[in-house]
C-alpha cells in the first residue's frame, strides 16, 4: 500500500521545520494513536523509514504462535529492513 504526501517547510527567524503528514488511512490501518513515539531511520538518500519506538502487536501470527514482525528469538524487537540487511537476511 502506498500514498504520496508533500513535505511542508516552515521557516521562522529562530529555526526551520519540515512536516510530513501521516495519511489517516495508514494510521487507521496500523491503529496509530495520538502521542505515540516514532523514530525516523535513513536507509539511503531515497528511503526513509518511520517506525514505532514501542512495538505494537502484529496483525499476522505465524503457525508456531509467534508474530511475523518480531525477531526469531521472540524478544519482541522489531526487525526493520536496516536490521535485516545488517544481519544478512536481505
Which DSSP symbol is given to 78?
B
C-alpha cell at 52: 514505532
pTM flag (> 0.75): no
- What whole-number distance in Å separates Cα of residue 69 and Cα of residue 78? 6
In the chain, domain spans = 7-86
Cell 522489531: give the residue.
78
Supply the DSSP string of 54-73, one letter for each residue: SPPPPS-B-TTS-BTTB-TT
**What is the distance between the alpha carbons of residues 5 and 25, in angstroms, rounded to a whole number?**
13
The tens digit of pLDDT for each residue in 7-53 reads 999 999 999 999 999 999 999 988 999 999 999 999 999 999 999 99
Amino acid at each position: 500500500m502506498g500514498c504520496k504526501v508533500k513535505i511542508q517547510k516552515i521557516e521562522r527567524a529562530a529555526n526551520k521545520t519540515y512536516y510530513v503528514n501521516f495519511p489517516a488511512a495508514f494510521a487507521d490501518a496500523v491503529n496509530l494513536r495520538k502521542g505515540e513515539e516514532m523514530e525516523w531511520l535513513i536507509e539511503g538518500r531515497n528511503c526513509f523509514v518511520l517506525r514505532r519506538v514501542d512495538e505494537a502487536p502484529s496483525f499476522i501470527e505465524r503457525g508456531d504462535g509467534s508474530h511475523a514482525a518480531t525477531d526469531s528469538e521472540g524478544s519482541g524487537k522489531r526487525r526493520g529492513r536496516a536490521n535485516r540487511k545488517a544481519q544478512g537476511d536481505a
